[in-house]
Amino acid sequence: MPRFSLNPATAYETNETRVFLERFATHLKTRLGMDTFENECHRYLIVLTNDDHYQQELQRRFAAIEGNIGWDMAEKVFLSICLTKEERLENMRNMADMGRNMGETYNRYSARILRHARVNGIQDDNDIILHQLGRSIPGMEYDFLLFKHQIKNPDATAFKSINTLCALMSTLTGPEDAIDQPRAVGRSQDQLQQQQQSFGPRHNTFPNGVRGSRGASRGALRGTFRGRGQGRMSPMGRSNSQPPFGQAPGQPPRAGMKFCQGCSWNNSHETKDCRFCTFCSNRGHTYADCRTRMRQEQQQNGTQGNQQS
């Protein structure tokens, strides 16, 4: 099993393939944006896999694919190289056995099942996965889905296709614990800013969204990435400054301050003017102005000059 690392400068490494892929996708979507991530994800997979054999195999497999390589295709190729068929089947069995997440609609659950079956290379008529999926659906709902399936297929006594089961399950409404869940659609920019300003520990929150002046503790705001810039790129590690007592959420702490989705309130720039360095993962400058990169290049040039002399 190869080792993976999100950044050579960080201490984060793992041998768990699924953990790496989830952290990889979350980190780079935040850092690059969705469009750039979809076009460049396969190249980052090659770079961030710390194993020469797997890097060469990824390069060979990606080079043989014609056209654009999206995240689904890159993840499928990656899993087919790093995991055996039995390991991928076991991962799919575990996910189907866990069933629907709390607050997850049947529509989202069916889409999640289809995607994991696709990237893990699970056959559509796999009896083991179909049995686990049937157990994860309540008996009344499963009987209703089977009844709808038998209308078009009178001789059917059970589901023989994962796609067919998920297609029928996506038409269900609910369940009740997911009906009242908020949906991430139709939110204005003011609502997004207000939601970002409302982040913070619950024990320090007063009624009507007014928060105390003590702010969050260091431990509550410490992110999962330990690098200098990685903590700021992670939604968990991003600094959430608390507004003064009595200030309404979404308002600048001081007059004249600007709001950036990546850096929060600041005195220098808005979101469209935010600068990010792809070398050291810090904000405030670009790759061309990175002093860390310049210092490392000078040290390397000096070392090479001493060796030649």
Q: What are the residue ranges spanned by the domains of the chain?
A: 4-83, 86-174, 251-309
Which DSSP letter does residue 266 get?
E
pLDDT of residue 249: 54
**Does position 244 have pLDDT exceeding 50, yes or no?**
no
Where is mean pLDDT largest: 120-129, 181-190, 270-279?
120-129
Tokens 């001081």 appear where?
Answer: 254
pLDDT of residue 98: 82
User: Using 50, 70 and 90 to split pLDDT, how confident is the model at 253?
Assistant: low
Alpha helices in the chain (DSSP H): 17-32, 34-47, 52-63, 71-82, 85-98, 106-119, 127-136, 139-152, 162-169, 176-179, 189-197, 218-221, 230-233, 291-308
Give 181-224 pLDDT, tens digit per residue. Answer: 444 444 555 655 555 555 444 333 333 444 443 444 444 434 44
Higher pLDDT pick, 213 / 149: 149
Mean pLDDT value across the chain: 72
pLDDT of residue 252: 66
Give 90-115 pLDDT, tens digit per residue. Answer: 888 888 888 888 778 888 888 888 98
**Does position 37 have pLDDT exceeding 70, yes or no?**
yes
Give 46-88 pLDDT, tens digit per residue. Answer: 887 777 888 888 888 888 888 888 888 888 888 888 888 888 8
User: Using 50, 70 and 90 to split pLDDT, how confident is the model at 284?
Assistant: confident
